[in-house]
């Protein structure tokens, strides 16, 4: 039986593409997903959960007008989880947020 592993960064990329987000935001979401995936606190979480939290974190830090139109409910719907699950994951990783967002994202004004 052949199985493919679903990576959070792939889920994040697909969701960002559905939102028609710019390439730099897509890349930031993918990198943040990978960074979240490596944490012990997210061990056992679904890729959709990690992707949803990563997208939410990146969009919260973005100053782009388009990203402000995307709600947590929109993100949850696209990645097929509940908004509360995204918030729970973000709360659990809040203290590490500065280390989760990619350096290129933090150093540029968005």
| CATH number assigned to the domain comprising residue 54 | 1.10.472.10
Q: How far apart are CA 24 and CA 20, in angstroms?
A: 12
Task: Determine the structural domain holding residue 57 and report its residue range.
Answer: 8-106
For residue 2, tell me if it sits in a domain: no
How far does Cα 52 stand from its chain's mean position?
5
Question: What is the domain count for the chain?
Answer: 1
The yes-or-no verdict on residue 5 having pLDDT over 60 is no
- Average pLDDT over the chain reads 87
Q: How far is CA 2 from CA 10, 35, 102, in A?
A: 19, 27, 33
Kindly state whether residue 49 falls inside one of the protein's structural domains. yes
What's CA 80's distance to the chain center, in Å?
A: 13
The pLDDT value given to residue 108: 59
pLDDT for residue 12 is more than 90? yes
In this prediction, residues 28-53 reach a mean pLDDT of 92
* H/E segment holding residue 24: helix 23-37
Which tokens sit at 99? 């280390």
């Amino acid at each position: 039986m052949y199985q493919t592993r679903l990576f959070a960064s792939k889920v994040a990329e697909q969701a960002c593409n559905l939102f028609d987000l710019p390439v730099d935001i897509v890349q930031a979401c993918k990198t943040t997903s990978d960074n979240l995936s490596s944490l012990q606190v997210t061990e056992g979480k679904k890729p959709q959960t990690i992707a949803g939290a990563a997208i939410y974190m990146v969009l919260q830090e973005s100053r782009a007008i388009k990203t402000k139109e995307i709600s947590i409910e929109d993100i949850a719907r696209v990645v097929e989880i509940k908004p509360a699950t995204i918030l729970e994951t973000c709360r659990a990783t809040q203290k590490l947020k500065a280390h989760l967002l990619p350096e290129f994202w933090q150093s540029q004004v968005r």
